[in-house]
Chain A
Amino acid sequence: MNSNILDHVTAGKADKSDVLINCRKKEAGQGVTIAIKSSVKAFFAKHIESLVSSKIKELSINDIQIEVEDNGALDFVILARLEAALVKMGYPVHKSLQGEPCHDYFNPDFSRLRRSRLYIPGNNPDLIINAGLFGSDSLILDLEDSVAPEQKFDTRFVVRNILTCKNNFLGSSERIVRINPPGCEYGPADLEMIVPARPDTLLIPKCETAEDVVKVEKIVEELERRHQITKPILFMPLIETAKGVINAYSIACASKRSVALCFGAEDFTRDIGCERTRDGKETLSARCSIVYAAKAAGIEAIDTVFSDIEDSEGLKKSTLEAQSLGFCGKGLIHPGQIKIVHEVFAPTNEQIQYANKVMQAIEDAKARGLGVIALGSKMIDAPVVERAKKTLELAKKMGIETAKKEVK
């Protein structure tokens, strides 16, 4: 039975909050040996050993040598690494080793706030376990650019386990997973493992045509059916090439699941063959095109990341610019950036007061049966009313006091 089993595999790494699992094949009858090395051996050696041995028993594996090199990994990480190792080795593991998946936190919401989208490398448990504490509107568990090709396989197990873990490590943030491009070898495998774990949203990178989105949608639909997922998982197409910018509108319209078009400046500047600069003139036109395409399709647009975590002034400037162009949010790479971005996207007191005045003026006009509404010397038309409503809605979502103050 062991003929297709590899001799030796490893999974994970011995970094902080992570674990390296070494599995070696043993001949039939040699039994199971488990060796635990751990920085928290004094407290958790027995626990880790029983966790691993019970899983091996569950899978009816009778002969194997497992070396655990632990550096304070939590159970969901240990199980992800163990499962990755056993699957790589060739054992038929049909069910997640983590046990019954928890789907309590699955909540795809089309209209939630998306000012801040924080990227977290999917293969870094130490960053993941505290990711939910910072109040980012969305968290992106990344399977793509931050994960080296040889780690792609192991990483899926970690991201799946974090999504289905009973402990809610991601807080009330939207749970986004950035899959690998659907056209490459990793994309479909990502979907196969991640969709059943019910992320709220999938970030689809390197979208160049509507077909790229449709391709993902077909797979997702099939997986949702198979796994009885009743609420549709949402999409965020990420545009990072000139071709993607040209096709932005059709990409935005490709699926009803899409909530926002995102822009990625790093790959885009590489694609068009220029340097990425601090003031970002080289991407201005592309960013505008993406905003127009998104708005024309009735969805939001989200700007690229600001990658200098030390420069809070630069981040503020860049976010103000994004807002002025029509973006509703920024991509972030450090939790320290969240506060600045939220401050920029919050409506100002003046905006709220003006919006209140507009709404008041409408009520007054209605009461008096007037057709044309004016506020001071300015006529209030439909777009002004729409904007006022949006301002008040946004303020409400952000928990900002909008109570009408004395309007004179």
Chain B
Amino acid sequence: MQMVKNALGRMVPSEVNGRAVKPFEGAFADMVSGKRKAAPPIPRCFPGRIDKVVNSLDGVLDRLPLRDGMCISFHHHLRNGDYLVNMVIEKLARRGFKDIVLAPTALFPVHDKLIPYIESGVISHVEGSMNGDVGRACSYGKMKKTATLRSHGGRVRAVQDGDLHIDVAFIGASAADCYGNANGVLGKSACGPLSYSNVDSLYADYSVVITDNLVPFPCIPWSIQGGNVNYVVTVDSIGDPAQIVSGTTKLTKSPTQLLIAEYAARFVEEIGYVREGLSFQAGAGGISLAFNVYLAEMMKKKGVTASFAHGGGNTVLVKMLEEGSLKYICEGQCFDLDAVRSLRENNNHVESTLSISYNYHAKGCIAHMLDIGVLGATEIDLNFNVNVNTHSDGLLLHGTGGFPDVAAGSDVTIITAPSFRKRIPIIRENVTTVTCPGELIDVIVTERGICINPKRQDLIEKTKNSGLPIKPIDQLMDEVYKITGVPEKVELDDRIVAVMEWRDGSILDVIRKVKT
């Protein structure tokens, strides 16, 4: 395989699984003019009663033109409570299919059950996002082909631009009608929006809605529209919505996490962004949620209202919305059941598709309108490049989410992270994997210091008398090394197990096999 050096100095392949790819040239450097989007086959329909309902998953699998090597997709709105990915793969395995390309928007610990199917070759590789044990399996080289990791916006682009062709999209829905209109806010398995599957329903050869709550036509709201759906399958249960709240989506009591969140909020105040009309996104994770709490307090004190919050809805944002310090929530997913309720009941809490939210190859996206983006990281280097996917030992343990899209779009992108976890320092000379180039990262906030990217002289100027512990990034790295010691370098295998795709489809970095 031919390797080329990209703009970050990383050696990346010029093809992935036989598909030619370009090296990363810069966050907004690609040229797309004149190219056209991919398109699904043209369907047709006749007047008369429409009934796409099939009473079992097997029934629909009998009707679909399944084949080895096909690509099937899923959303992750039920997060760790999802039943469908495991259910479908198990049935396909029983039917003897192999080399399936799995294209989920994310995987969770509940999907650890897929590992035997990866090992036996039923699944050839993952295109999209993975974490936990599936990521670990990928790291240890258990996938037949090279996995591709994409951000939320990058996945939409890949489908739309024809880089990722989905044969069958399976779309779990907590409510659906016989025509295929579906949503995720009604029914016992309500989990919020179905926005992750929007692009799948538009571009896949076949779209299958799977529901445990068939409602009379019309199913309103229709997050997924019947005109894009081939079949509606009824099952006993699509998942357990109580499980959408998992480790990373709970409010923290950790004093250190609270301190980091408070520093981040104070930073936002010092640069003058706690103001009327503020827009912001702070994802899941204890620090991000706590940041929201501090921000809400500051806004209340100042008597100003935020225009909109973007990204995962959660109980803190819902409270801000209901108390009037926030006008709208535009979200692609819910991090807890309070957010699900609010999305269902509050007209100012709206679902946005991932294309509207994050897609770079679009005529605008919400992420590009953000004032403030607050994001987490596993590693940051002296050039402000950020890693959110792998740990310092090379293991692929986390999904990308909307990180690169938010970082690219926010006026001020703030990374919040402890300066070391257990003994492992966060700021390093070089990150193990680049998830997002440093040119898009403005500030790093840790409990032991705040580092501002030198290219943001305006922020440095605004905060120089703030009393916040602002210091150069190399100084903070050295201070932390004095506490932890300098970690040994980890030797990785040569084999590339996954590539990290930038929002535009170029290759940002590779993930190499971890030696066992």
Residues of A within 8 A of B (CB): 16-17, 39-40, 42-47, 71-75, 127, 129-130, 133-134, 167, 309, 334-336
Quick one: CB contact mask for B256-273 with A, threshold 8 Å, 1 for yes?
Answer: 101100000000000000
Q: Is the CB of B424 within 8 A of A72?
A: yes
Closest A residue to B491 using CB positions:
A42
Contacts of A129 in B (CB 8 A): 483
CA distance A202 to B423 in the complex (A): 30
Known: A43-B487, A47-B485. A72 touches B255 (CB 8 A): no
Closest A residue to B484 using CB positions:
A74
Q: Is the CB of A167 within 8 A of B488?
A: no
Q: Is the CB of A42 within 8 A of B256?
A: no
Known: A72-B424, A134-B259. A42 touches B485 (CB 8 A): no
Q: How far is the CB of B92 from chain A (nearest CB, A)?
A: 36
Closest B residue to A334 using CB positions:
B255
CA distance A39 to B424 in the complex (A): 10
Closest A residue to B393 using CB positions:
A42
CA distance A234 to B487 in the complex (A): 40
Q: Is the CB of B423 within 8 A of A44?
A: yes
Contacts of A45 in B (CB 8 A): 488
Q: Is the CB of A133 within 8 A of B447?
A: yes
Q: How far is the CB of B397 from chain A (nearest CB, A)?
A: 13
Closest A residue to B448 using CB positions:
A133
B392 within 8 A of A: yes
Q: How far is the CB of A342 from chain B (nearest CB, A)?
A: 14
Q: Is the CB of B483 within 8 A of A74?
A: yes
B63 within 8 A of A: no
B44 within 8 A of A: no
CA distance A40 to B420 in the complex (A): 12
Contacts of B258 in A (CB 8 A): 335-336
CA distance A148 to B60 in the complex (A): 62
Interface residue from B259, B448, B484, B488 paired with A335 (Cβ < 8 Å): B259
Residues B449-507 near A (CB distance < 8 A)? 482-485, 487-488, 490
CA distance A354 to B482 in the complex (A): 48
Q: Which of B259, B421, B447, B484 has the most CB of A within 10 A?
A: B484
B49 within 8 A of A: no
Interface residue from B256, B259, B423, B482 paired with A43 (Cβ < 8 Å): B423
Q: Is the CB of B488 within 8 A of A46?
A: yes
Q: Can you give 26 contacting A-B residue pairs, CB < 8 Å? A: A17-B422, A39-B422, A40-B487, A42-B487, A42-B488, A42-B490, A43-B392, A43-B393, A43-B424, A43-B487, A43-B490, A44-B485, A44-B487, A45-B488, A46-B488, A47-B485, A72-B424, A127-B255, A130-B255, A130-B259, A133-B256, A134-B255, A167-B483, A335-B255, A335-B258, A336-B258
Contacts of B392 in A (CB 8 A): 42-43
Q: Is the CB of B255 within 8 A of A73?
A: no
Closest A residue to B425 using CB positions:
A43
Q: How far is the CB of A14 from chain B (nearest CB, A)?
A: 12
Contacts of B253 in A (CB 8 A): 309, 334
Contacts of A74 in B (CB 8 A): 423, 483-484
CA distance A130 to B419 in the complex (A): 11
Q: Which of A43, A47, A71, A309 has the most CB of B within 10 A?
A: A43
CA distance A60 to B484 in the complex (A): 27
Q: Which of B253, B255, B447, B483 has the most CB of A within 10 A?
A: B255
Known: A42-B393, A43-B392, A336-B258. A72 touches B447 (CB 8 A): no
Q: How far is the CB of A292 from chain B (nearest CB, A)?
A: 35
CA distance A42 to B421 in the complex (A): 14
CA distance A334 to B257 in the complex (A): 13
Q: How far is the CB of A130 from chain B (nearest CB, A)?
A: 5
Q: How far is the CB of B139 from chain A (nearest CB, A)?
A: 12
Quick one: CB contact mask for B10-52 with A, threshold 8 Å, 1 for yes?
Answer: 0000000000000000000000000000000000000000000
CA distance A119 to B490 in the complex (A): 39
Q: How far is the CB of B505 from chain A (nearest CB, A)?
A: 32
Q: Which of B448, B487, B488 has the most CB of A within 10 A?
A: B488
Quick one: CB contact mask for B100-136 with A, threshold 8 Å, 1 for yes?
Answer: 0000000000000000000000000000000000000
CA distance A16 to B423 in the complex (A): 10
Closest A residue to B395 using CB positions:
A42
Closest A residue to B419 using CB positions:
A130
Q: How far is the CB of B337 from chain A (nearest CB, A)?
A: 21
Closest A residue to B258 using CB positions:
A336
Given contacts A43-B393, A46-B488, 17 further A-B contacts (CB under 8 A): A42-B392, A42-B488, A43-B424, A43-B487, A43-B488, A47-B485, A47-B488, A72-B424, A74-B423, A75-B485, A130-B256, A133-B256, A133-B447, A134-B259, A309-B253, A334-B255, A335-B258
Contacts of A72 in B (CB 8 A): 421-424
Q: Which of B258, B392, B422, B488 has the most CB of A within 10 A?
A: B422
Contacts of B422 in A (CB 8 A): 16-17, 39-40, 71-72
CA distance A133 to B262 in the complex (A): 12
